[in-house]
Amino acid sequence: MIRSWKVTARLSSPLAGDPPALDAILEWEMTRRLGIKSGRKLTRDTRLSDIQRVGLPLYQTTLAGVNVYRCSDPIIPAPRAEWADHQAKRFDTDLAALLLAPGERKSIGTTSGDYKMRYTPIRCRLVDRVVWFFYGDRYEVRRLLLSVNSLGKHRGIGYGLVAGWDFVEASEDYSIFAPRDGRKVLMKTVPVGPHLEGIEGFKRSFGGAFPPYWHPETKMEIAIPC
């Protein structure tokens, strides 16, 4: 059913980093299912024109000449707790050398490369859900999301586990703009343009306005909800 929907991801473990955009999640899952990701790594040097794009079960709208999906940025409640974990990696050369014959021992670099030691902080927040609003096909969106088992960063070590997905029909379309106290506020990161006239609740920045958000060719002047 193509209508306005509110989708909620119920989390069963802390969220690491920031929650992802809904269109980015769906595009990642669609390319994985179609096998587009297999055998080819997308990097910042890859031109967008060389990427095989996929259609998503979300409606699009054109803002400032750019096509964007009608889905809000992720919304999370106030965290019950927030802290910094650390991801550590250390190669203990002194102990490893004892496993080798004296004639086979040699020096290796631990300040760069594969054996570089690290102690990286991870921002963690204890939230029970992530919410998005979108306008599109609920059935197809749900079918894709059922295979998404975790959100955020460091998913492979247990952060951001998804216990389930819930869908509720929204009374209005809150995918890009939403009313608040008689005014209209921005709900989604969009390109800066005349469509922002009279809109409140955003800050200007420079970044991606559509997936893949991290790619250099998607960078432009944008408005971010705040």
Kindly state whether residues 164 and 219 are assigned to the same domain: yes
Kindly state whether residues 132 and 101 are assigned to the same domain: no
Give the residue, 36 or 62, on which the prediction is more confident: 62
Kindly state whether residues 99 and 209 are assigned to the same domain: no
Kindly state whether residues 39 and 133 are assigned to the same domain: yes
Could you list the beta-strand ranges (E) of the chain: 2-11, 15-16, 60-63, 66-69, 82-89, 118-125, 129-137, 162-169, 177-180, 183-186, 190-191, 199-200, 202-208, 219-225
The domain of 50 spans 2-81+126-225
Q: What is the mean pLDDT of residues 140-148?
A: 95
Highest mean pLDDT pick, 36-45, 97-106, 152-161 = 152-161
Instruction: Answer whether the bond into residue 225 is a cis peptide, omega within 30°.
Output: no
Kindly state whether residues 61 and 11 are assigned to the same domain: yes
Kindly state whether residues 130 and 183 are assigned to the same domain: yes
Give the residue, 77 or 48, on which the prediction is more confident: 77
How many separate domains does the chain show? 2
Kindly state whether residues 11 and 22 are assigned to the same domain: yes
Length of the chain: 226
pLDDT higher than threshold 90 for residue 206: yes
Kindly state whether residues 91 and 114 are assigned to the same domain: yes
Domain edge (last residue) among 93, 120, 147: 120
